Chain A
Amino acid sequence: MNDGVNGVALAVFIFFFLAVTVVGFLAARWRRAENEASLDEWGLGGRSFGTWVTWFLLGGDLYTAYTFVAVPAAIYAAGAAGFFAVPYTILVYPLIFTFLPRLWSVSHKHGYVTTSDFVRGRFGSKGLSLAVAVTGILATMPYIALQLVGIQAVLDVMGVGGGEDTNWFVKDLPLLIAFGVLAAYTYSSGLRAPALIAFVKDTLIYIVIAVAIIYIPIKLGGFDDIFAKAGEAFAQTNPATGAPRGALAPAEAGQWTYATLALGSALALFMYPHSITATLSSKSREVIRRNTTILPLYSLMLGLLALLGFMAIAAGVKVSNGQLAIPQLFEDMFPDWFAGVAFAAIGIGALVPAAIMSIAAANLFTRNIYKDFIKPDATPAQETKVSKLVSLLVKVGALVFVLTMDKTVAINFQLLGGIWILQTFPALVGGLFTRWFHRWALLAGWAVGMIYGTAAAYGVASPTQKHFGGSSKEIPGIGEIGYIGLTAFLLNVVVTVVLTFALKALKAPDGVDETRPEDYTADAGDPGVEVELPPATAGTSH
């Protein structure tokens, strides 16, 4: 794969990398508030972001480098089945339209920084809040690690990854530098850094996709030829499974899998701490609703991007590691300088979500483990200090994870993370609409979902792996193959409902609910909403 270093591409890549580094450090001064030493400032950018900043931030956050590499890679490997990412992102928006504004309002009213804060306030249960926090942190860590895998793929194709026998330190040095820099500006600028860098990232990505989707098909003889070639390639039998490699449209048997993966992933997406962090940083309820109408632009981009997987097949890209298919396609198709721009887009695309994820995980630790269990009287300044340090630790952890373990371990954990995070849905979204669920029932449902999901995923074998070979399995009672996360989620809901009835019959004590019905519809400017927040910089007029 590494036939020398691509000098021009590398130079362009380094140029963009340095540019965003400067932006990252300068971000600390952007809309700086008087009261800097609070978690609202460092961890939520002062809760001041308007529609467009939120759009870039959420887009930069949800559509990660790993997405850009993995979605086309899945198409490259198996065809239609990998396209579920598109219906998945279609379903996300109507879903969050209904519940995120409520979460925003109640969080603003009570100064909640994380989802666990809300769960504790709503159900008066530190145990449930701890369960949500731990799930969030566990699900986020491998996600950060996968961003590193995305950068590694790009570095590899550019030829700076070093050969097999290079000293490990030299080999991983570029990655270490990239992450060192990322850690430094996240530490100093907090959420403002990824918010500003997201502008650069998304602009680059949109340019690259627009060019790729026009330029590459012209070079390859149009979409007719691309899909004809891809169809031929998929029809060939895979020696490992004895079945065709894939198909251009899912067969009857694959349709349940396709639909359950799309639905399950859509339900899970906004349970991830980093999505919530980006949402809570917006300055009003309206910003969120408005965003659900403009965020689908990213879904369209994702669909076009997925088509690159077919182009990689048609262009005859042959890689042993599917993750390298798209970077390799760029390298083969584009002139060197533009390949550099494309690689920079993917590289920076890894930095933005990695920064937000580490901030989100750090906030969870600080608010729901450190403050709740270790030091209840922590001042806002102490909270911020702990959060900053933990954001560093989380990144170091992810780095160690990627450097010492096989890449498939990170991917396995990411798969598990998706299943796990979905189990926090009943407590969070259920809690936003009703107080009917009993806190102990929610905790039990969560535990059942986690255990079933983990055990089921462990039992899935693939031609290359004995365990964690995929995310779908036969749904008990239906007999179709479906997404494990969704099955675990249904089980979770059933257990929660049944136990709630039982506990209510037994008159088990309810926790204290510190929220009131009107808190869920409060908007910025309402009495009692703004006064609790540190005033943002005077002069941020809009």
Chain B
Amino acid sequence: MSDVPEVKPPVVTPVRVVIALCLIAPFVAMLWVGSYAKTDPDFIGIPFFYWYQMLWVLISTVLTMTAYKLWQRDQRARTGGAAK
């Protein structure tokens, strides 16, 4: 593979770090099973274990959406910058 010499904005920017965190957070939350493997407190009779994970469906959706919006802005800024 040959390296393509190009002038680019830095690859790691604060916005991209936030995007990465948004995408990684669900992995930490869901794979750490010990943090939610219990039945109390319950919600309208549903044990914690179940409603907590379903709540994470919503949280991860918001996070992915945030990542998507930030990524769009990031890309637009970059292509806009390249055009000038």
Choice from A94, A258, A307 contacting B63 with Cβ under 8 Å: A94
A303 to B58, CA, bound (A): 12
Which chain B residues in 16-70 approach chain A with CB under 8 Å?
Answer: 22-24, 26-27, 30-34, 37-39, 42, 44-50, 53-54, 56-58, 60-61, 63-65, 67-68
* Residue B4 is within 8 A (CB to CB) of chain A in the complex: yes
Q: Tell me the chain A residues, 482-519 only, with Cβ under 8 Å from chain B.
A: 513, 517
Give chain A nearest CB distance to B16 CB in angstroms: 12
Contact of A87 among B24, B30, B42, B47 (CB under 8 A): B30
Is there a chain B Cβ closer than 8 Å to A401's Cβ? no
Asked whether, in the complex, the Cβ of A293 is within 8 Å of the Cβ of B31, the reply is no
Q: How large is the interface on A (under 10, 10 to 19, 20 to 34, 35 or more residues)?
A: 35 or more
Q: Is B1 an interface residue (CB 8 A)?
A: yes
Q: Considering the chains assembled together, what is the distance between the CA atoms of A293 and B68 in angstroms?
A: 8
Given contacts A249-B39, A259-B33, A263-B31, contact A90 B60 (CB under 8 A): yes
* Residues of chain B having any CB pair with chain A under 8 Å: 1, 4, 22-24, 26-27, 30-34, 37-39, 42, 44-50, 53-54, 56-58, 60-61, 63-65, 67-68, 71
Is there contact, CB below 8 Å, between B46 and A227? yes
B34 cross-chain contacts in A, Cβ below 8 A: 252, 255
Nearest CB in chain A to that of B40: its residue = A249
Is there contact, CB below 8 Å, between B68 and A290?
yes
B37 touches A250 (CB 8 A): yes
Q: Is the interface of B mostly helix, strand, loop or mixed?
A: helix
Q: Mark A296-329, 1 if CB is under 8 A from B, else 0.
A: 1001100110110000000000000000000000
Q: Which residue of B lies closest to A260 (CB)?
A: B31
Measuring CB to CB, which residues of chain A are less than 8 angstroms from any residue of chain B?
80, 83, 86-87, 89-91, 93-94, 97-98, 222-227, 248-252, 255-256, 258-259, 262-263, 289-290, 292-293, 296, 299-300, 303-304, 306-307, 435, 513, 517
Q: A215: shortest Cβ distance to chain B, in Å?
A: 15
- Minimum distance in angstroms from B73 CB to a CB of chain A: 13
A300 touches B54 (CB 8 A): yes
- A6 and B25 CA atoms in complex are apart in Å by 48
Q: Are A248 and B58 in contact, with the CB atoms below 8 A?
A: no
CB atoms of A94 and B27 under 8 A apart: yes
Contacts of A90 in B (CB 8 A): 26, 30, 53, 56-57, 60
Nearest opposing residue in chain B for A523, CB measure: B75
Min distance, Cβ B36 to any Cβ of chain A, angstroms: 8
Q: Tell me the bound Cα distance from A120 to B46 in angstroms.
A: 49
Complex CA–CA separation, A401 to B37 (angstroms)? 39
Q: Is the CB of A97 within 8 A of B38?
A: no
Contacts of A303 in B (CB 8 A): 50, 53-54, 57
B33 touches A97 (CB 8 A): no
Q: Once the chains are docked, how many angstroms separate the CA of A295 from the CA of B50? A: 20
Would you call B54 and A94 a contact (CB within 8 A)?
A: no
Measured CB to CB, the nearest residue on chain A to B51 is: A303
Besides A296-B60, A513-B1, 18 other A-B contacts (C-beta < 8 A): A80-B49, A86-B57, A90-B26, A90-B56, A93-B60, A97-B67, A222-B44, A223-B45, A248-B47, A249-B37, A249-B38, A249-B47, A263-B31, A292-B68, A303-B50, A303-B54, A303-B57, A304-B54
Q: Are A248 and B39 in contact, with the CB atoms below 8 A? A: yes
With A290-B68, A296-B64, A300-B54: A262-B30 Cβ-Cβ less than 8 Å: yes
CA distance A86 to B57 in the complex (A): 8
Contact yes or no, B33 A258, CB < 8 A? yes
